[in-house]
Amino acid sequence: MEKGTILIVDDEPRYIQLIAANLVVDGFSVVDALDGEKAVEIVSEQDIDLVLLDVMMPKLDGFETCRRIRGFSQVPIIMVTAKGDESDRVQGLNVGADDYIVKPFSASELLARVRAVLRRSMFSRDVSQPVIFNHGNLKIDFARAEVFLQGEKILLSATEYRLLLQFSHNKGRILTTEELLSSVWGDGYKNDKEILWVTISRLRSKLEEDPSNPVHIVTRTGMGYTMPNLTE
């Protein structure tokens, strides 16, 4: 049974073949692109479930490719980097990636990351409560998995949306860093605080009128984060 279609974007055909072989054996369908411009075209025209996007490419690097895809699509994106530098990881998350993986990596690590990101994506799409949630100027349509700010639709990645769901479903409650990492990314991410910090920063830049003085996602120093009751 096919598990979904994954787009592999890398300027090295040999590397694409290696990744594709592991994904196909695990039941995925694979398409590929040798550059970022082609990747953007494929995502805009085909039904893609996840993108594995290499950072270092000519013409259009992975960061700019991710930024362009995020302009019109919520497709889950995993950035693939050979450097593993903190700046690369943060930059990838800032432009909208859902996760990252550092070369060289094993087939088992790759498949674990892919499955985890797809699980988060499916969770976000499968929320079926016919309920509208309002928090000030923020509205979440759970039935359609859509978010609006002052009546205008806001495009979130699957991970951003799932993180927002955690806050909306626990309004008024303080959620610890460990709770958020475990519930949104999985138990294997409990110590990866950086990915949470960057994703919260990204969410605030989209949802807050003044990200430096947030009202929807508020930091409780020494405790965690909360979506406060607006009557507080």
pLDDT tens readout for residues 192-232: 888 999 999 999 999 999 999 999 999 999 999 999 998 64
- Domains of the chain, CATH where assigned: 5-125 (3.40.50.2300), 128-226 (1.10.10.10)
Burial of 19 (0-12, 13-18, 19+ CB in 10 A): buried
H or E segment and range at residue 152: strand 152-154
* Phi, psi at 121, each rounded to 5°: -65, -45
Interatomic CA distance for residues 5 and 208, integer angstroms: 34
pTM: 0.69
pLDDT tens digits, 106-151: 999 999 999 988 887 765 554 444 478 999 999 998 767 789 999 9
Q: What is the longest distance spanned by two Cα atoms in the chain? A: 58
H-only helix segments in the chain = 13-25, 36-45, 62-70, 86-94, 107-126, 158-169, 177-180, 193-207
